[in-house]
Amino acid sequence: MKTRSLPLGLLLGAFLLSSGRAQIERLNLPQMVAKSDNAVIAEITSSRVFRIDHPVDGPELYFTVLTLSGASLADGKPITVDVTYPGGFISDEEGVHNSEAPSADDVRLGNVVVAFYKWTDNMGGDVAANALYASHGGLFRTVDGPSGRVVLGRGDGYAVSNNQSLISLEQAVRSLVEGR
């Protein structure tokens, strides 16, 4: 009996086509507002990383928790909220990088950010938390400009694609929330 072997690349390609592929979700502002529980303009006042060793999901699951203090974009009310995302480091040698996590520059203490989040009962390892929606895609840095605070856009496919004034983003979010 004669057997033939396919080149490894063809086998791998066939496997990837037959299995589910990870996809990055493109979200405009109306979609992000519809899918998230809230959006805040807030200062990052604390950050901590914790580790879970889970019997089903596996060992060494790391999560970062940011404490954000500011106001809801939906109603302007003051809020302090913890938001969580996968990845982070407890020390220089204990932790894990996550390609979807916000950059270290994005999450520095003292930064004022816009963050979209949604409650989830299980982020992995049975961690229940307010998840930063779309990981790095749900966090936007801000800067002070000559006409007030500006939210820095991330480009096409993100809820805030272009730089815009915080005031215009607040108005857009409130309008979308009221339209639900």
Domains, the chain, ordered by start: 27-178 (2.40.50)
Q: How confident is the model at residue 13 (pLDDT cuts 50, 70, 90)?
A: very low
Q: Which of 140, 99, 98, 142 is nearest to 116 (CA)?
A: 140
Q: Which of 6, 131, 4, 117 is nearest to 64 (CA)?
A: 131
Indicate the average pLDDT of the chain: 89
Does residue 7 carry a pLDDT above 70? Answer: no
Alpha helix segments (H runs only) across the chain: 8-18, 29-35, 166-178
Q: What is the pLDDT of residues 113-157, one digit of tens each?
A: 999 999 999 999 999 999 999 999 999 999 999 999 999 999 999
Helix (H, G, I), strand (E, B) or coil at 174: helix
In whole angstroms, give the CA distance from residue 159 to residue 109.
23
